[in-house]
Amino acid sequence: MIKPAARKIKKIYRTLDNKSIGNPLAFILILLILPITVIAVQNTINYFSKAQLTGSVDAAFSPASFNLPPNANVKIMLDPHGQAVAFARVVIVFDKTKVKFDSEITTTASLSTVVEKTTMANANTSGKAVIVIAASPTDTQPASSFEFASFTLASVSSNNTDTSTLTFLASDMQIVSAGGTELTVNAASAAINNGGTNPTLPPTNTPPTLTPPTGNPQACNVVGSIDCYNQWKAEYQKSLTSKIADLNQDGKVDLIDFEIWRRAAKG
């Protein structure tokens, strides 16, 4: 769309060269048309610049860099650029030999359904935290920049020159708009300057691996029912191997299926 407008300007210039010398009225007319054409081109460029943000969400930490110690309160900020967020799975990773969670994760009230949230103990054992929350049928879904979750970090390093990062695992994240569209995640890491000493975390026992059951085949006969939600949650968290809650029948149980359930439950 930009190239045709540029060609139009060139055509006007050629007209100016060929006709305006012997025709003062044509010269004046061209002078009037040219600014309008330039403005149209600029508006087209601005439109395409804004369109690049469509379908994306920015994920960042606040603050973007910090020192440990003292302990730091860290916020996960999401900016969906005007698109209401109905469901979000956010995954963060960190170096557990240098930093640790010093609090449980607190999530926003705007997405009040907590599907999955890694505990402080499990995060410190694995170096990874998963947060999955969604809008209930009565929530007002956030569409501008908002605080998704917060937690406190502390240092476990005795080396004052240590550095590390707090990073989003974008490949394992999924954020869905109220319209059922999966948004592209643009993620930014946080820089950590480590120092101080903290006690080493005690080891935890690894539970045995169990084969999950399949659940209730009739759970989603009524899509908006609480039975269907419980089936979806269990399948999404992999505690059930069935795909009864694959409501859009795309071969996987994910956040889009939750949005289908939420709309049905809302009526």
Contacts of 146 (CB under 8 A, 6+ apart): 77, 78, 79, 108, 110
Residue 33 has pLDDT above 80, yes or no: no
In the structure, what pLDDT confidence band is assigned to residue 218 with cuts at 50, 70 and 90? confident
Do 104 and 60 belong to one domain? Answer: yes
Residue 248 and residue 178 share a domain = no
Instruction: Mark whether 75 and 129 lie in a shared domain.
Output: yes
Tens of pLDDT, residues 4-26 = 555 555 555 555 555 555 556 65
Q: Is residue 252 part of a domain?
A: yes
Q: What three-state secondary structure class fits 154?
A: strand
Domain membership of residue 209 (yes or no) is no
Could you tell me if residue 220 is inside a domain?
no
In this prediction, residues 72-82 reach a mean pLDDT of 95
Given a cut of 50, is residue 46 above it in pLDDT? Answer: no
**What's the pLDDT score for residue 26?**
55
What is the total count of domains within the chain? Answer: 3
Residue 11 shares a structural domain with residue 133: no
The answer as to whether 36 is a domain residue is: yes
Tell me if 198 is assigned to some domain. no
Cβ contact 148:76 at 8 Å: yes
Say whether pLDDT at 2 is over 60: no
Q: Is residue 221 part of a domain?
A: no
Average pLDDT value over all residues in the chain? 80
User: Within this chain, do residues 72 and 171 fall inside the same structural domain, yes or no?
Assistant: yes
**pLDDT for 104-145, tens place per residue?**
999 999 999 999 999 999 999 999 999 999 999 899 999 999
The pLDDT of residue 147 is 96
The share of the chain scoring above pLDDT 70, in percent, equals 72
List the domain range (segments joined by +) for residue 244.
226-266
| Shared domain check, 188 and 60 | yes
What confidence score (pLDDT) does residue 10 get? 56
Asked whether residue 68 falls in the same domain as residue 33, the answer is no
Phi, psi (rounded to 5 degrees) for 26: -65, -40
Pair 71, 7 in one domain: no
On whether both 66 and 162 belong to a single domain, the answer is yes
Domain assignment of residue 247, yes or no: yes
Q: Are 64 and 189 members of one domain?
A: yes
Q: What is the pLDDT of residue 132?
A: 96
Query: 105 and 176: one domain?
Result: yes
Q: What CATH number is associated with residue 110?
A: 2.60.40.680
- The encoded tokens of residue 173 equal 């994240």
Domain contains 214: no
Compare 41 and 143 and report the one with higher pLDDT.
143
Do residues 25 and 40 share a domain? yes
Query: What pLDDT digit, counting tens, does each position of 143-202 carry?
Result: 999 999 999 999 987 776 788 999 999 999 999 998 888 999 999 999 998 864 444 444
Type of residue numbered 247: L
The span from the CA of 26 to the CA of 30, in Å, is 6
pLDDT of residue 6: 53
Q: Per-residue pLDDT averaged across 23-33, rounded?
A: 58
